[in-house]
Amino acid sequence: MGLRRDYGPLLRSASWNYLGYFFEAAVSLALVAYVVRWVGVAEYGVYLFALSLAGQFGLLNFGLPNLLSQAYIAERSRTGAVGVSRLLSTAFTFSALLGMAALGICLGCAALLPGPFRIPLGLVPLAKQALALGGVWMFLAIPTKSLDLVVESWHRFDTLNKVQILLGTLRAIATVALLRERFGILALMWIQVALAALRLVLLVVLIPGQTKGVRVNPLLWDWPLLRPVLRSAGWASLDDVVWQLGMGMDTLIVSVLVSMRGVAIYGVGSKAAVQLISLVRRGLNVTFPALAERHTAADSESLRSLYVASCRAAFTVLFPITLALMVFADTIVQVWVGPQYQGAATVMRWLLVGALIEGLAAPANYLLYACGRVSTAARIGLAENALNFGLSCLLVFPFGVAGPAIGTAVAHTLGTLGGFVLAACRLAQLAPRRLASLLIRDNGVPSLISFLGLSLAWYLSQGSAPWLRLFFGALVGPPLYFAARLTRMETDPWKHRLSAALRRVGFLRSGWQCLRALKDALRDSSASSRAEPNREFEHSVDPYNYTTNPLERQRHCREAEMLDAVRGARKFESALEVGCAEGIFTEILAERCDALLAADISPVALERARARRPCVRRAICWWGVLASMTPSRHRPGGDAIWCAAASGSRTSSGAIRR
């Protein structure tokens, strides 16, 4: 119950975040499929162009969103709701002024269209109106961010996601209704503006009740409160500007060098990659506080373990999805948006490469921020975007609309592997080769098996209806990957949970146990028995979480109490510990005996146990590998023998005596 009370709010926040994300993603993808059937390709390209160009002016916020949340929390601890109200009102008013600047720039750009952009002459008036409405949208969206952040600082993610779900529902209803009346893309832009205004009004009304009295009032302007926040932006502002530029760079390049039809094709092809990147970042952003805590505590081993675990978890999620999307990209585009967007399949495949690399980029970026290396992240991001811009401009001529996608994939791969990952590995004191070997070991065989299964499903389903081919692909690819990945999880608790679930299903239980028995029989040897625990300890420090899991620490305390009940006031004359692992329980045992022999089957674990030797000087200690122990070389155990493998199930003092 205590654990539930501690983590309940965090779990609820995470649940609401993912509920809002999946709802938003589902609505967005479904509306794309609907809109492209009511709007021409070039006209849809104008709509995406207006949104992208207007969105670029979000960089006028000077990186303020990166810093406001922390500023709200700090002000709340100092002056309470009154101080937060003054800071919020100042930030909101300042952001509204920035939004007015964005609106003015958008109106100026709209007046200059077509300019360098390849907009068909018949669509130029439409593009001007769409861009002007995009400016109004940014005028409302920029100050709304300051309202979002104050709600987040009170951990009311449920409120934000309820608002998002409401707006998503209204967006779907309005889009369907207006397009059926053939109002075109201007109706879509008006929907964007109306929803942005409604979101702003809802947050202004809801904030006092969600934040214990915080209110928005432009009359509470207090510039000295906001000025230090802006001054501290520094590299964070540059990183935010770089990120904003990177988000819409490819669309603008295509609009200048290709056509509005190319913008539409590129926009459709990028949807899957954008959603996957958002999924990864939503999942990994919860690691940021933990990384910062470990860095502050100078706990390099835990920092390294968490970073490696983040990379492995991201790849485990991304690999099967990207693989299936790549194999069936043509069929997906045909079913989703129709044959007029068939060129989007090539764009999708290349951008999915970048989405897969995000599994390395996101953990590295969070680690750099947690360790205070914001300048490093900003420099790498700037170099990556510069390379992306150059490659996209060069490759668009021979490859057309696919050129910027190729440039993005190549630049993101080089920037991640040659920049973010190397910098993160240095901070985590981890060899990049070691990280690569872990990812290959985890995903190499499962990816090959999944690819073969997808290829077979694709071949056998030729001639079938497109939706049926997608059904076969979804039924074969990801399940094969996760089944193969499961066999390579040596310590992951999800493996044991899944196997326990399978054992409850009659017709699956026998097959599961048969496969496990065959695998164990084929791998059974003394060499494999020694290699298996070595793999556990080579991959991470404390793989069984003896030092971090509260239940394990509690178990060690109970076991120490049982030992004390057995020995009474005297110490054990000599003791044998079978399965000492990294010597964590050895320290407890050494306090209770005069001589101790600690043995384990893993030489790697024993080396770490020896490193703890200064902590166990209370007793004379010997160390040995079980497979090579002989009486002539090692002192045998005497009046106490401790078997770690049996301690989990036998916890009574009578069992220890036996």
Same domain for 319 and 293, yes or no, is: yes
pLDDT for the residue 32:
92
**Token pair 């609009």 in the structure block, residue:** 255
pLDDT for the residue 155:
73
pLDDT for the residue 649:
38
Same domain for 238 and 228, yes or no, is: no
CB 109 within 8 A of CB 132: no
Same domain for 299 and 370, yes or no, is: yes
Q: Which two tokens stand for residue 546?
A: 């003896």
Angle at the Cα of 479 from the Cα atoms of 475 and 482, rounded to 5 degrees: 165
| pLDDT bracket for residue 527 (50, 70, 90) | low
Examine residue 581 and state whether it is found in any structural domain, yes or no: yes
**Token pair 């003054």 in the structure block, residue:** 86
What value does the mean pLDDT take over residues 311-327? 84
pLDDT tens-digit series, residues 425-450: 998 888 888 888 888 877 777 777 77
Same domain for 385 and 288, yes or no, is: yes
Domain count of the fold of the chain: 3
The listed range with the strongest mean pLDDT (168-177, 355-364, 472-481, 538-547) is 168-177
Same domain for 128 and 261, yes or no, is: no
pLDDT for the residue 633:
47
Same domain for 270 and 219, yes or no, is: no
Q: Which of 176, 203, 233 is the last residue of a domain?
A: 233
d(CA 595, CA 618): 9
**Bridge partners of residue 572, in order along the sequence:** 593
**Bridge partners of residue 598, in order along the sequence:** 577, 623
pLDDT tens-digit series, residues 19-37: 888 888 899 989 999 999 9
| pLDDT bracket for residue 7 (50, 70, 90) | very low
- CA-based nearest residue to 347, from 277, 408, 274, 270: 270
pLDDT tens-digit series, residues 223-263: 888 888 777 666 767 777 777 777 788 888 999 999 999 99
pLDDT for the residue 405:
93
For residues 206 and 533, the model is more confident at 206
Examine residue 41 and state whether it is found in any structural domain, yes or no: yes
Same domain for 131 and 163, yes or no, is: yes
pLDDT for the residue 154:
79
pLDDT tens-digit series, residues 306-317: 888 888 888 877
pLDDT tens-digit series, residues 599-630: 887 788 888 887 775 455 556 666 666 555 54
d(CA 308, CA 360): 10
Beta-carbon count within 10 A of 105 CB: 17
pLDDT for the residue 69:
72
Same domain for 207 and 255, yes or no, is: no
| pLDDT bracket for residue 539 (50, 70, 90) | low
For residues 166 and 301, the model is more confident at 166
What value does the mean pLDDT take over residues 392-405? 92
Same domain for 424 and 300, yes or no, is: yes
Q: Residue 279 above 90 pLDDT?
A: no
Examine residue 545 and state whether it is found in any structural domain, yes or no: no
Same domain for 295 and 394, yes or no, is: yes
For residues 640 and 80, the model is more confident at 80
From 45-59, 241-255, 289-303, the region with the lowest mean pLDDT? 289-303
Examine residue 508 and state whether it is found in any structural domain, yes or no: no
Q: Which of 488, 506, 531 is the last residue of a domain?
A: 488
Helices (H) and strands (E) in the chain, counts: 26, 4
Q: Residue 476 above 80 pLDDT?
A: no
CB 435 within 8 A of CB 308: yes
Same domain for 394 and 478, yes or no, is: yes
Angle at the Cα of 415 from the Cα atoms of 412 and 416, rounded to 5 degrees: 80
Range of the domain at 124: 9-233
pLDDT for the residue 646:
45
What value does the mean pLDDT take over residues 260-287? 85
Q: Which two tokens stand for residue 374?
A: 């914001």
Q: Which of 202, 233, 264 is the last residue of a domain?
A: 233
Examine residue 514 and state whether it is found in any structural domain, yes or no: no
Examine residue 586 and state whether it is found in any structural domain, yes or no: yes
**Bridge partners of residue 597, in order along the sequence:** 576, 622
What is each CA distance from 317 to 84, 167, 306, 388, 447, in whole angstroms? 39, 29, 17, 26, 12
**Bridge partners of residue 599, in order along the sequence:** 578, 624
What is each CA distance from 597 to 91, 218, 544, 617, 658, in whole angstroms? 65, 73, 22, 13, 19
Q: Residue 645 above 80 pLDDT?
A: no
CATH number at residue 631: 3.40.50.150
463: left (phi over 0), alpha (psi -120 to 50) or beta: left
Same domain for 364 and 448, yes or no, is: yes
Average pLDDT over the chain, rounded to an integer:
80
Angle at the Cα of 167 from the Cα atoms of 165 and 170, rounded to 5 degrees: 110
The listed range with the strongest mean pLDDT (200-204, 511-515, 592-596) is 200-204
Examine residue 484 and state whether it is found in any structural domain, yes or no: yes
Q: To the nearest 10°, the Cα dihedral for 364, 369, 372, 375?
A: 80
